[in-house]
C-alpha cells in the first residue's frame, strides 16, 4: 500500500461524521438541524448529552491518532515525516468531510489525536489547561481556544522538529479562526455554557455561523 493511498485513507477516515451518525443512529435526527448546527462533538454534547458525546469525542480523537501513529509503519518509507501528512489529511477530512458536502466540525478532537501521537507531553499540558478553562468558564469554545494557544506554546518549548511545530502553528491558527464567531459571543456574554441555563437554549440552527 503506497503512502499516497494512505493519505487518501487518512482523509476518508477523518471525514467519517461521527456526530452526524450518532444523531441518526441514536435519535433518528440530523444533528445539523439542532443546537448550533455543527456536526462536531461539542454540539453532540449539547443536543444528545454526555453519554453519546463522550464516545463521539473519543472516536474523533482516534480518527487523528490512528493514521498518525500507525500508517507510518505501513507505508514502507520509514520516514516519520509522513506521519504529519497522514495527520494533516485526517484533520482536513474532519473539517471538510466529503460525506457531508465538505461541511464538518472544527477539528479540535481530531487534531488532539494527531498531536497525541506526535507530541504526547505537549498534549498532556494542553489537556490540563483545557480542563481548567472548561471548569472555570463552562465554555467549550473558550477551552478549545486556550488549548490551541497552550499547544502552540508547549510545542515551541518542547518540540525539536520544525515540521511538527509548523503543523502546530497551522492547527492553532485554524482553530482560533474557526472560533472567531464564538469569540464575538464570548465578548458579548452570549456564548453557550454547558450546565447553565442559556437564553433561548437550545438555540435554532444558524447554518451561516455554525459553532
- 143 φ, ψ (degrees, to nearest 5): -65, -40
For residue 176, the SS3 value is helix
Look at residue 49 in the predicted model and tell me its pLDDT.
87
Residue 147 clears pLDDT 80, i.e. is over it: yes
- 2-11, 14-23, 40-49, range with the lowest pLDDT: 40-49
Res 207 pLDDT > 50: no
SS3 197: coil
What cell numbers appear for 132 in the block?
A: 481548567
The closest of 179, 185, 211 to 199, measured between CA atoms, is 185
**The pLDDT value given to residue 120:** 96
Give the pLDDT of residue 187.
Answer: 92
Question: pLDDT tens digits for 57-97?
Answer: 999 999 999 999 999 888 877 778 899 999 999 999 999 99
CA quadruple 161, 59, 108, 171: dihedral sign:
positive
Let me know: does 49 contact 41? Beta carbons within 8 Å. no
Structure confidence at residue 40 (pLDDT): 87
How many CB atoms lie under 10 A from the CB of residue 51?
9
Is the full-model pTM beyond 0.85?
Answer: yes
In angstroms, how far is the first alpha carbon of the chain from the final one?
37
* Position 204 pLDDT exceeds 90: no
| Separation CA 147–CA 24 (nearest Å) | 30
Amino acid at each position: 500500500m503506497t503512502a499516497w493511498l494512505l493519505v487518501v485513507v487518512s482523509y476518508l477516515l477523518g471525514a467519517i461524521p461521527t456526530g452526524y451518525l450518532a444523531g441518526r443512529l441514536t435519535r433518528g435526527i440530523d444533528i445539523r438541524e439542532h443546537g448550533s448546527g455543527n456536526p462536531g462533538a461539542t454540539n453532540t454534547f449539547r443536543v444528545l448529552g454526555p453519554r453519546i458525546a463522550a464516545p463521539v469525542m473519543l472516536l474523533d480523537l482516534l480518527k487523528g491518532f490512528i493514521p498518525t501513529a500507525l500508517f507510518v509503519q505501513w507505508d514502507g518509507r520509514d520516514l516519520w515525516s509522513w506521519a504529519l501528512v497522514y495527520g494533516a489529511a485526517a484533520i482536513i477530512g474532519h473539517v471538510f468531510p466529503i460525506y457531508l458536502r465538505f461541511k464538518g466540525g472544527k477539528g479540535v478532537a481530531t487534531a488532539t489525536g494527531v498531536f497525541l501521537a506526535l507530541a504526547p507531553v505537549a498534549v498532556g499540558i494542553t489537556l490540563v489547561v483545557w480542563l481548567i478553562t472548561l471548569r472555570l468558564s463552562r465554555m467549550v469554545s473558550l477551552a478549545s481556544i486556550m488549548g490551541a494557544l497552550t499547544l502552540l506554546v508547549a510545542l515551541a518549548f518542547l518540540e525539536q522538529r520544525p515540521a511538527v511545530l509548523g503543523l502546530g502553528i497551522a492547527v492553532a491558527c485554524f482553530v482560533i479562526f474557526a472560533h472567531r464567531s464564538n469569540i464575538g459571543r464570548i465578548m458579548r456574554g452570549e456564548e453557550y455554557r454547558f450546565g447553565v441555563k442559556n437564553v433561548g437554549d437550545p438555540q435554532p440552527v444558524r447554518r451561516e455561523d455554525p459553532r
